[in-house]
A and B are shown apart, each in its own frame.
Chain A
């Protein structure tokens, strides 16, 4: 334990040195502003996005969103969660509706473009529960899966042509496996090293890194950079000392431009930050008293060159937190529970486009894709809960 503390301490010192005097000054300034005013990006929900689906198609639990190089929005949902009433057309009890295919592509106007997926194919098995979607630097589409035994990630072209299956189905939980995964939540692909970072997952408790073309295992790590351990750690207790392992699910692993990996340790209500090699850098809690499903579901970075802000979706408190990426301090939040535009039920996934707009999807009985338009900067009281962000013309 002492050794670890020493190690954490030395990491901290190294970090402070790396950040430099300028950053220290900035942080002092931020401290001085605690409870004061802060500048944050301002968003408004776009209630016209997306357009209604064609073919009486109905969208199920929506558990992944990504944006491609053309600013097209890709989502993955779970058709098998569309219940008998919702899919009354499939059940032949009524006229509406039918289950939509799991992978859906939308353009910036909200029109549905390509749609595919959902069944096994030559050389691959479809996950038993869809989870996570990422479009990589080559334009390929990656998905994970969090059904029992889903130990794989799949890669397709945007037309749905199968490219790779890494890992396999029907495998046990093993956070130290170099053969397969344990119910993968999300994938990030690092263009520079052509490596895929796997948020692994609902069964395993680690981040795994593989070669994005061959799938060769390169490295993996648990919380604080520890060797992952599948021992049941019991229920999350916000008053207990932080546990030294991730809890399931490890729900995101996203790399910033300055090559730090941000991991969503969802049920522990925390974000842990690592180097690409898995060295622990820092951590922060968000809504630390949130129980059950936890608060840190997914993140995206603001699209300024410094990626100054983290947008964090919290599907239990039903909002998007805005954090300062360097200090990991909470600056503000927006959104609230509900079924109206700009409100959430179980907001699960987040992505941004080239214009800085935010896209979210909701699981459980939320089942929507929503867009929030970036409307410049605004001044808020630090920590301010903005609530539902409607277009200003509509609320004045």
Chain B
């Protein structure tokens, strides 16, 4: 990279800063100099590409008003071969009482019903399909669906998440407890005339433990569910526990599963559901397998969330390399999901704890910059758990916990 290019890049950055555009870089300027001095041009290309993304705040389009649908905690986003965006979310179980008034007994307010838990949008943000998946439909729908993948035939695979007992309370990741509906009348009383608690509004929203004993936690998911392109249930691919992440290798007709309960990556035949091979982490055991992705480089990338690392394997499970992202992150960890730019030069990493999408040089896995910051406004994140990229390079994100959104970042 020559000096002129560097100056141009810095000018661009300054211009962006002056305009106070919603794309935010967390890499300090001195680190940009450092990067420029130390690494190849590929890094800078990756970084410049980041600069070309900005949030489209009016995407997707609102649901039909009469439906009063809202999203629960979003735990999976993927893009299919038609550049349609598929979303899975945790539905009514992830909604606070005040988000699901019409579902309470007695009826409490107009807002809202959970949107169907599998949704398909076109690139313009129009809802194309919504599958009313759930309990009592002839298959074992997971309490916390997690991860979504679509194969070349349009079949959709959905994993299943953590048992709610493992989830922190009060973050809305599910702990709208089973007893939430039963707790509603007690809350009504509080909202009526009982003296307000120390934090009136807060206590009202959560409805924690007011009168209703928490129900026993539902069991963790033990299968990946496969649906055909019309939403008809096809099969349950079992032998797994908490399959948090799924990916399809269309060339081989294979399904990759992040089998978190067994701390392994398991590979299945997509047609028969038979397990073909498996492997565990290199070195320290996986600590929450938040994603598994098959790259066009023929390698399998694993988001080892709690260890703040990406591990890369061949398709037969031979360890290739690893890289840390935001290595000092504690709590939930930094590596939640990943996706490549169409030119394969940039790797985007969703980081729900630091509330940004990191950009990495896809070859070296070195961090080059980031998109977004924490917050509830467009272009900001809370618990960004999923990232996907379409053929044009537009980026899509999903947010869990109380984020409960999907967002689109378009090229400038």
Contact = CB atoms under 8 A, between A and B. Distances in A.
Contact of A83 (B171, B187, B355, B378): B171
A235 B185 contact: yes
A85 B403 contact: no
A395 B60 CA distance: 11
Contact of A292 (B112, B191, B404): B191
A93 B330 contact: yes
B171 A346 contact: no
A96 B374 contact: yes
Interface in B101-118: 101, 104, 106-112
Interface in B1-47: 20, 22, 24, 26
Interface in B322-346: 326, 329-332, 334
Given A81-B199, A146-B200, A346-B201, A391 B356 contact: no
A202 B196 contact: yes
A226 to B, nearest CB: 15
B98 A147 contact: no
Contacts of A336: 62-63, 65, 68, 111-112
A267 interface: yes
A286 B51 CA distance: 47
A77 B378 CA distance: 19
B379 A52 contact: yes
A97 B372 CA distance: 12
B163 to A, nearest CB: 20
B153 interface: no
Contacts of A391: 58
Contacts, number: 237
B197 A148 contact: yes
The size bracket of the interface on B is 35 or more
Interface in A34-82: 47-48, 50-53, 56, 58-59, 61, 63, 78, 81
B192 A236 contact: yes
Contacts of A63: 201
A interface, how many residues as a size bin?
Answer: 35 or more
A10 B126 CA distance: 56
Interface in B178-195: 184-185, 187-189, 191-195
B205 A365 contact: yes
B353 interface: yes
Contact of B373 (A56, A61, A345): A56
A206 interface: no
B71 interface: yes
A146 B196 contact: yes
Given A47-B378, A95-B326, A316 B109 contact: yes
A131 B201 CA distance: 10
Of the candidates A287, A292, A317, A336, the one having the most CB atoms from chain B within 10 angstroms of its own CB is A292
B204 interface: yes
B383 A85 contact: yes
A94 B98 CA distance: 30
A44 to B, nearest CB: 11
A322 B164 CA distance: 41
Contacts of A249: 196, 200
Contacts of B196: 146, 148, 183, 202-203, 248-249
Given A47-B58, A236-B192, A391-B58, A364 B110 contact: no
Interface string B47-76: 000000000011001111110101100000
A85 B332 contact: yes
A364 B109 contact: no
B307 interface: no
Given A93-B353, A94-B354, A183 B172 contact: no
A183 B196 CA distance: 9
B110 A317 contact: yes
A194 B82 CA distance: 65
A342 B62 CA distance: 10
Contacts of B26: 95
B285 to A, nearest CB: 21
9 closest pairs, A vs B, by CB?
Answer: A387-B65, A337-B112, A337-B111, A47-B57, A388-B62, A97-B374, A93-B330, A318-B111, A365-B402
Interface of A: 47-48, 50-53, 56, 58-59, 61, 63, 78, 81, 83-86, 88, 91-97, 111, 128-129, 131, 146-148, 173, 183, 202-203, 232-236, 247-249, 267, 287, 289-295, 315-319, 336-343, 345-346, 348, 363-368, 385-388, 390-391, 394-395
15 contacts: A81-B202, A85-B171, A86-B374, A88-B374, A95-B326, A95-B356, A129-B199, A292-B187, A339-B404, A339-B405, A340-B57, A340-B405, A341-B58, A348-B201, A387-B62
Given A47-B58, A86-B382, A293-B204, 7 more contacts: A96-B356, A236-B191, A291-B191, A293-B98, A364-B202, A364-B205, A385-B65
